[in-house]
Amino acid sequence: MNLYVLGLLLLGVANIESVADSRRPNVLFLVIDDLRPALGCYDYPKIFSPNIDKLASFSMKFENAHIQQAVCGPSRTSFLTSRRPDTTRLYDFGSYWRTHAGNYTSLPQHFKENGYFTYSIGKVFHPGICSNYNDDYPLSWSLPAYHPPTQKYKMKQVCPGPDGKLHMNLLCPVNVTTQPEHSLPDIQSAGHAVEMLQKFSNNKSQPFFLAVGFHKPHIPYKFPEQYLDLYPISEIDLAPNPFIPKELPPVAFSPYTQMRIREDVKSLNLSFPFGPIPYDFQRKIRQHYYSSVTYMDSMVGKVLQQLEQSGFADTTIITLIGDHGWSLGEHGDWCKYENFEVTTRIPMLVHVPGMTDVNEEKKAKFEYVDVFNEKHHKSAKSGPHLNVLVEAVDLFPTLAELTQLQVPPKCPENPFKVDFCTEGASFAQLIEYSSENYAVQNKGLKIHREKGIPWKSAVFSQYPRPSDYPQQNTDLPSLKDIRIMGYTMRTHHHRYTAWVSFDPVKFFANFSEVHARELYLRDSDPLEIYNVANLKEYSNLVSKLHTRLAKGWRHEVFDSQ
């Protein structure tokens, strides 16, 4: 790290005046890029994630958490402002919400304005114009954000190939010592987070909000090569639904163009837009995704271990989320950019000291687990969990309530001139009541009904398209090219999606002009294979769900199942 920058950081941590109540808990906010709930703690035993699993054993695990748009920039802007994409007006990577939509208070900004030292490491806000080219500093952060210097090699030829040359590949296991700067982005981000936690321990009167964003398992799958040894290719299977569904409207499909530009994928000479990818390469993709997840888990483990060693394990609220899901061959797809469950659903863990750490063994909660020395390690105990429908926009008001800061009020119908409000809802009481119930009776799934806490009966996501049929800019259309918006609503029993006409100048979605519909009966079709929207026997249900979808999130308050 630049010595001047390091000096600035240390000076800032040491000298910023504490204006907050020192009894307020710290916050460690972990954001993982492109992470679907493919973790051991989410009943995905094929992947080794011992450090996150241990965190989950002391956290509230949300089984049914969803983001608002399955792509990095819009999703992060959404949950960091607690506004949905139609309010941030960011569906691509081309605008900064404060100048494009409204001067909305961000999550870290709220903590900073209430006396917290706030700091960003790695990919938290999406870099570039989405966050004003400065990660929204100084409004959101006490000091300029840290980005690992090796991230600049993301699109470079650094991947060794069988021909002895370096390539810009999708599959990129590496010997770290041969890489530029002899490191990788997440190694650098974890190392810097460890440094900062060590410095924070010198000034415990100043509460901190530390956000750490890890890049893996985002493509390319560049990770230390030893992690590949954990996943023999002979043990890697295909997706359970590897084919494009027969009744899938073309507008719903993503042709995974960002993957196709990689040299090893390009050499496959895939037909556009539907592929398919050869089975042997499909297994390699899944193998490398798994390896990337385990590598990232190790970096998370190092940060959590330092949190404990610095004396913060029992005074810090920890959240861990993915910014969206990821397809690994499901529906014949290999990316995000869609409205299926596999792309909208994310892992979400919330650790609240004294509340969610209900297991009796509290010594060294976050002791680092080396997956290579303990591949067959004892599984972490299961912690409390909730199956209610929650959304990433709910995190802002929840963390405010858990830290006893002002909770933003519900946004009005016209939210663009209101700086401080939320389009989510705090689930702090759900965590509290469910944790209490778990400790006594190991229940928790319906505790909000027993306690009379109103909660949402549906969650909402959306994705834009430039056309009805896949083309080169289908995955990431610029705002000016958007002509269709796919709105999707996930209830307890259904996923209903309507692809409707959209005006990118007036930001107007016309729900009376429907290009295509999807309806999946999740009780009998959890993989969302059979689109029954066009079957006559479901016409009444489609009509009801379409009306609910058009009314939007404001009308989905009470959980009726």
Question: Can you give 393-436 as a three-state secondary structure string?
Answer: HHHHHHHHHHCCCCCCCECCCCCCCCCCCECCCCCHHHHHHHHH
Choose, from 41, 66, 72, 215, the residue flagged as catalytic.
72
Pair 37, 346: CB distance under 8 Å: yes
> Cα(65)–Cα(394) distance, rounded to whole angstroms?
10
Say how many Å lie between the first and final Cα of the chain, rounded: 52
Q: Give the relative orientation of helices 279-309 and 185-200 as an angle to the nearest 10 degrees.
A: 10
> Cα(506)–Cα(509) distance, rounded to whole angstroms?
9
Question: Does residue 385 carry a catalytic annotation?
Answer: no
Beta strands in 94-225 (DSSP E): 117-122, 159-160, 166-167, 171-174, 208-214, 221-224
Q: Which two tokens stand for residue 362?
A: 């509290």
> Cα(196)–Cα(307) distance, rounded to whole angstroms?
10
Cβ contacts of residue 45 below 8 Å, gap of 6+?
none
Q: 3-class DSSP state for residue 452?
A: coil
> Cα(425)–Cα(557) distance, rounded to whole angstroms?
10
| 254 backbone dihedrals φ, ψ, rounded to 5° | -105, 130
Choose, from 66, 110, 126, 218, the residue flagged as catalytic.
126
Pair 154, 169: CB distance under 8 Å: no
Q: What is the CA radius of gyration of the chain?
A: 22
For the chain, what is the total number of helices (H) and then of strands (E)?
A: 15, 15
Write b or e for each residue in 502-534: b if 16 or more Cβ atoms lie within 10 A of its Cβ, otherwise e: bebeebebebeeebbbbbbbeeebebbbebbbe
Question: Does residue 351 carry a catalytic annotation?
Answer: no
DSSP 146: B
Q: Which two tokens stand for residue 397?
A: 């008001």
At 220, the amino acid letter reads: P
β-pair type (221-224, 171-174): parallel
- Catalytically active residues, by annotation: 72, 126
